Chains A and B, each alone.
Chain A
Amino acid sequence: MRYSALSIFKQALAGNLGWKPVWREPEPKPHYDVIIVGGGGHGLATAYYLAREFGIRNVAVVEKGYLGSGNVGRNTTIVRSNYMLPGNEPFYEFSLKLWEGLERELNYNVMLSQRGIISLYHNDSQRDHYTRRGNAMMMEGVAAEQLDRETLKRMLPFLNFDHARFPIVGGLLQRRAGTARHDAVAWGFARGADRLGVDLIQNCEVTGIRRENGLVTGVETTKGFIGCNRLALAAAGNTSRVGTMAGLKLPLESHVLQAFVTEGLKPCIDHVITYGAGHFYISQSDKGGLVFGAEIDGYSSYAQRGNLATAEHVMEEGVTMIPGLSRVRVLRSWGGVMDMSMDGSPIIDRTSIENLYLNCGWCYGGFKATPASGFCFAHLIARGESHHVARALRLDRFERGFPIDEAGAGTQPNLH
């Protein structure tokens, strides 16, 4: 069914009884051209673009839980392309351009809201750094604006401008950045892929990867063996575990990242705002809740829950930036398992096994990358070569000495 204002009107007259499930629940076929492991945002986007752009429709997505049960439903929904390094910025800008057309493309409301992201800075050297980042963005054709303190005071009067240690000096604004409805992105891609003939197989955990003569022949799953010509991994925080089944050892460590949402408030925060004195980001959802988060907890974890000391630290950062937050009540918090790479940047690449492809290392920035990640991964699987905006996102960049270290923190997974 194609969604439109007319379809909503017709369904309303018919008592809303005619809505159908938006995807099938097929049993796995014995063999597919491509199997994608992981039914999250990236896996579903990959399946969609494989079918839509590259004409490969005999595709299955196998997911151990339900579709979108991982990080695509456990993030702070920020979409932006304000990166600095040449290996990253064109990729994320490509992603933002796909976001801008995504609702028409998928015929699905992903509620993209380009409300702008403001990254605050607090001293002269940080201003210089943000100026450099803004210039780097403009060199890639991405608009960036620097806001001075007076402009910010008019725009965001609730910030703590005169904090004794971290006064707010200015900010870097990307107007086209914003937020999207995270679950809807997974559902939209799932519906789109399903309509193009992709089998979405839920509650089907991969337990082994079968190989013959050095090539992958299929996957053992809880629903039996499924054969494939090409296997693509998009398993996020569990990539190392699935990779081990094929003998891969990867530059990844799994960490937990927490996010929080408050009770619903009247509209008060119109942008996405990030704090430069710590690592804190906040926006207001369409329901009115303030959605915010900070850094990873900092220790290896496969548990989708964080610890309270980190939660306390996040609240402290928030209240330092916006003192009024101290009177807001937090409703919920949740944790997601992040596949932290060694330089904080992702990997979309081939592996040492010819027909095994890898999409991982999204750290805690994977949501904004969902469309481009799917597009570029599908390009790699279909054409056998990297899409031009994803050429730097190679698996071997660490041993070759070309890390993409946006934070300049060194090759240490818990520092990004």
Chain B
Amino acid sequence: MASLITCPHCGTRPKEEFSIRGDATPVRPAPMAPDEAWNDYAHVRANPRGRIREHWQHVSGCRRWLVVERDNFTHEVFAVTDATESRGGAR
């Protein structure tokens, strides 16, 4: 895991300032969507090896939700964006 994460608001900060929620790919279905859609969202994960997008929160900094794009095998970090600006991120 990379030791430093560049927060779009706070600059380069140690990883320990952030908390990691998990996969940012599943998109929350509509409230009355069928059970299968909710099951997919809540339980099923693609879990690829390689490039992934994750929800992180900068809890010891700006407290914003971020989307960190990184490699889960080499630990390389490609991009960190605010979740509201990230396509397919928090909605």
User: Footprint of B on A, CB under 8 Å?
Assistant: 238, 240-241, 244, 249-254, 297-303, 306-307, 309, 342, 398-399, 411-414
Query: Are B47's CB and A254's CB within 8 A?
Result: yes
* A residues near B48, Cβ cutoff 8 Å: 240-241, 244
* A residues near B49, Cβ cutoff 8 Å: 238, 241, 254, 302
Min C-beta distance of B50 to chain A, whole Å: 8
* B residues near A241, Cβ cutoff 8 Å: 47-49
A-B contact pairs, 26 of them (CB 8 A): A240-B45, A240-B46, A240-B47, A244-B46, A244-B48, A249-B45, A251-B45, A253-B45, A253-B47, A297-B1, A299-B1, A299-B20, A300-B52, A300-B72, A301-B1, A302-B49, A303-B73, A303-B75, A307-B3, A309-B16, A342-B42, A342-B43, A399-B43, A411-B43, A412-B22, A413-B22
Min C-beta distance of A300 to chain B, whole Å: 5
User: Footprint of A on B, CB under 8 Å?
Assistant: 1, 3, 15-16, 20, 22-23, 35-36, 39-40, 42-49, 52, 54, 72-75
> What residue of chain A has the Cβ atom nearest to residue B56's Cβ?
A299
* B residues near A252, Cβ cutoff 8 Å: 45, 47
Query: In the assembly, what is the distance between CA of A398 and CA of B36, in Å?
Result: 11
Query: Are B73's CB and A302's CB within 8 A?
Result: yes
5 cross-chain pairs, A with B, having the tightest CB-CB distances, nearest first: A240-B47, A399-B39, A398-B43, A307-B1, A302-B49
> Pick the contact of A413 from B16, B45, B54, B74 — CB < 8 Å?
B45
Query: In the assembly, what is the distance between CA of A402 and CA of B47, in Å?
Result: 22
Query: Are B45's CB and A303's CB within 8 A?
Result: no
* B residues near A238, Cβ cutoff 8 Å: 49
Count contacts between A and B, CB distance < 8 Å: 74
* A residues near B15, Cβ cutoff 8 Å: 307, 309
Query: In the assembly, what is the distance between CA of A249 and CA of B47, in Å?
Result: 9
> What residue of chain B has the Cβ atom nearest to residue A397's Cβ?
B43
* A residues near B16, Cβ cutoff 8 Å: 309
> What residue of chain B has the Cβ atom nearest to residue A256's Cβ?
B1
Min C-beta distance of B42 to chain A, whole Å: 6
Query: Are B20's CB and A298's CB within 8 A?
Result: yes
* A residues near B45, Cβ cutoff 8 Å: 240, 249-253, 413
> What residue of chain B has the Cβ atom nearest to residue A343's Cβ?
B43
Min C-beta distance of A182 to chain B, whole Å: 24
Query: Are B22's CB and A249's CB within 8 A?
Result: no
Q: Which of B44, B45, B48 has the most CB of A within 10 A?
A: B45
Query: Are A414's CB and B47's CB within 8 A?
Result: no
Query: In the assembly, what is the distance between CA of A250 and CA of B46, in Å?
Result: 7
* B residues near A299, Cβ cutoff 8 Å: 1, 20, 54, 72
Q: Which of B1, B22, B42, B74 has the most CB of A within 10 A?
A: B1
Query: In the assembly, what is the distance between CA of A17 and CA of B48, in Å?
Result: 47
Query: In the assembly, what is the distance between CA of A250 and CA of B47, in Å?
Result: 8
Min C-beta distance of B54 to chain A, whole Å: 7
Min C-beta distance of A257 to chain B, whole Å: 13
> What residue of chain B has the Cβ atom nearest to residue A241's Cβ?
B49
* B residues near A306, Cβ cutoff 8 Å: 1
Query: Are B36's CB and A399's CB within 8 A?
Result: yes
* B residues near A300, Cβ cutoff 8 Å: 22-23, 47, 52, 54, 72
